[in-house]
Copies of this chain bind each other. A is one copy, B any other.
Amino acid sequence: MRLNNLGIVRTNIEFPDPEDVARLSQFGVATIHEAMGRVGLMRPYIRPAYTGAKLCGPAVTVLLQPGDNWMFHVAAEQVREGSVVIAGCTTESEDGFFGELLATSLAARGCTGLVIDGGVRDVADLERMDFPVFSRAINAKGTVKATLGSVNVPVVVANALVNPGDVVVADVDGVVVVPRELVGAVADTSRQREDNEEAKRQKFRAGVLGLDLYGMREPLAAAGLEYVED
């Protein structure tokens, strides 16, 4: 009996409908997270490696051993057009697992970005290449290629569970994971939410108060809010 999920490459993962992914890519992380009922968010310590980085795509997952980036080369063979690589680590590590050469290899195979619960380097090159990366650290320290992790197994990244084929969306507000089978539904709900927000935005711009727009005056009074003139 296998006691762990190390040393495995799943080659045949299912990806969501590309049109659903395209529709989802129109929305920001905060909107999508709300649309899902506020689940699926990675911890906020994952930050863009450079200003303006954004990505949205189905996940090829990588499970790394600390200080070892061997599995990225295995993953490069598994990426497809439009996919993103989502890398977790079996323990906390801020080493620089990923840099410009790997980005060149992944980009050449169609991959459009990386989220990693570890460190990255060559950040000026990544920005020049326009290869978006989200990480827990920036660190010039390199890694070895010595121990097996896995590709396309479920990984936990910054406390969020990512299955291969789930869609990951990342922007300045953070990183959110949308389960593969929900991508279309979440895109729909995000659209409704944005439409609904646009109506509110117009009202707010005109100076209407949320107190009135949302009918909050009564519940606030019921909760005991007291206006004091001094």
Contact = CB atoms under 8 A, between A and B. Distances in A.
Interface of A: 1, 3-13, 28-30, 33-41, 43-44, 47, 51, 65-68, 70, 72-74, 76-77, 88, 90-96, 99-102, 104-105, 108-109, 117, 119, 121-124, 137-142, 144-148, 154, 156, 158-161, 171-174, 176, 182, 185-186, 189, 197, 200-201, 204-211, 214, 216, 220, 223-230
Contacts of A224: 7, 148
Contacts of A37: 3-4, 6
Given A28-B122, A66-B95, 11 more contacts: A11-B228, A13-B230, A30-B140, A33-B141, A41-B140, A44-B137, A66-B67, A73-B216, A76-B209, A76-B211, A124-B172
Contact of A186 (B3, B119, B204, B216): B3
A154 to B, nearest CB: 7
